[in-house]
Amino acid sequence: SYFNGEQLVRDLGISIPPQLQGLHTVIGWPRIGVEALEQRLEQAAKKAEAVAQKLVADQGRGTVREAVRRDRQATGWARTA
């Protein structure tokens, strides 16, 4: 497969001895590129999730503050982890 970097040696019927007909060559470059990209995508997803959580928390905090500002008898609180 491309990801594993395995390439079958084609048998043209003229140059490969029978002992080498099942030979596989492994290069590995495709795997290196895919795994590096996968790591970067995972890191980006974690950062995006953290940013989204902060935006939601900030919006919630802003909503509570605005409600308390408009209604002086209101009480607002928020719990954070």
pLDDT along the chain (81 residues), means of 10: 59 71 67 80 94 89 81 69 58
Position 51 scores a pLDDT of 93
- Kindly state the greatest CA–CA separation across the chain: 92
Distances (CA, A) of 58 to 1, 17, 76: 47, 70, 14
Position 38 scores a pLDDT of 85
What is the model's pTM?
Answer: 0.46
Quote the strand ranges of 9-58, DSSP E: 24-26
Position 26 scores a pLDDT of 64
